[in-house]
Amino acid sequence: MERFEISDRRFAHYVLANAPLEELATGFRWIEGPVWMGDWNCLLFQDLPRNRTMRWSEAAGISVYRAPSNYANGQARDRQGRLIACSHQARCLYRTEFDGEVRTLVTQHEGKRLNAPNDVVVKSDGTIWFSDPLYGISTDYEGGRQISEQPPALYRFDPESNDIRVMAGDFDGPNGLAFSPDERRLYVAETGDQTSDTPRQYIRVFDVSPDGRRLSGGDVFHKVEPGYCDGLCVDEEGNLWSSAGDGVHCIDPGGRLLGKVLVPRTVANLAFGGRKKNRLFIAGSQTLYAIFLNRRGAQWP
Ligand code: MG
C-alpha cells in the first residue's frame, strides 16, 4: 500500500521516502487523546471505551498508566507540564498534580454541568481551551448515557481565577482544536450532530484577539474527505495535520490540502512527539501507529 498521497509538491518535502508507517500496538477498543510526555519519553493515550489511559514507550512498549480513567478523551500538558484530561463520565477536566493527586478543575458553566469534554489545548498564557459536545453522554459506550444540561460549546477556562466562558456556542459538535504557532488563530473541528443524516462536518478557523479573551470569524476553513476531522495538530510552520477516514491529511494555513499519510484504519486523533517532535503518533481505531516526518510539531511561543 502506498504510504502517501501527494496533492501539492511541498508535501513531498514533508515526508520521508524511507520512513515506514509503524504499527506500535494494536488490539485496543478505540483509541484517542494522544499526548507526548517528553520528560517521560513516552506517549500517553486513551483506550476510551475500555476506560483506561495507556502508555507507550520505545523501551517498554505498552502498559496501563491509569485505570479507571473516568472515560478520559483528549489530553494536553499545561505550561508546568501537568497532564490535563477531558473526562466524559465525570463531565469535567481533571489535572494530574506533580505528586500524583488527580484534581478536578472544572465541572460546570453558569451552574449547569458540562456535557462531556472531548478535546483540550493549553494556551501559552495558561488558559485551557476545550470542546464540550454531547457525544460522550449520548451512549453507554464511552462514558454512560446522561442528561445534557446545556448546548454544545467551545470554552476557555482560566485555572488561576476559575473563570469559565463560552468562546463559541454555534457548534453542533465541537471536537478537536489547535492554535496556530503564533496563537493568532484557533482551529476547531465541527463534527456535527451525529443523529442527523447530514451532520455539519468541517474545520473552522477563528481569529484570537490579542488579549486572548475573544474569538472572531469562525468560517469554514477546510472540509476533510473521506470521513471527517476529529482531532488535529499543527506543525512548526502552521500546517494542520488532521485525522480523516483514510489517514492523516496535511492542510496548509490557506486551507489547501497538501497531501495525506494513508493509514489502513480510520484515524481519530494524532500528536507530534519524540525527541525532535518529528514523529507523528496516530490513534487509528484499534491500532496505534507512528511515522517519522520531515516536519516538527509546533513549539509553544
Ligand atoms: Mg475528539
Distance (Å) from CA 230 to ligand 1 centroid: 5
CA of 127 to the centre of ligand 1 (A): 19
pLDDT of res. 188? 98
| Grid cell digits, residue 159 | 485555572
CA distance 271 to 38: 12
Q: How far apart are CA 24 and CA 135, in angstroms?
A: 28
* CA of residue 244 to ligand 1 center, whole Å: 12
Question: What percent of the chain stands above pLDDT 90?
Answer: 97
DSSP output for 46-91: EEGGGTEEEEEETTTEEEEEESS-SSEEEEEE-TT--EEEEETTTT
Q: What is the pLDDT of residues 28-51, one digit of tens each?
A: 999 999 999 999 999 999 999 999
pLDDT in tens, 189-210: 999 998 899 999 999 999 999 9
Distance (angstroms) between ligand 1 centre and the Cα of 18 equals: 31
Q: How is residue 44 written as a grid cell?
A: 500517553
CA of 64 to the centre of ligand 1 (A): 21
Amino acid identity for residue 284 in this structure: G
Q: Give residue 209 CA to ligand 1 midpoint distance, Å.
A: 25
User: Does position 127 have pLDDT exceeding 70, yes or no?
Assistant: yes
Domain coordinates in residue numbering, the chain: 4-292
CATH architecture designation of domain 4-292: 6 Propeller (2.120)
Lookup result for grid cell 454531547: 134
252-301: pLDDT as tens digits: 999 999 999 999 999 999 999 999 999 999 999 999 999 999 999 998 75
Cα 21 to ligand 1 centroid, rounded to whole Å = 22
Query: Rounded to two decimals, what is the model's pTM?
Result: 0.97
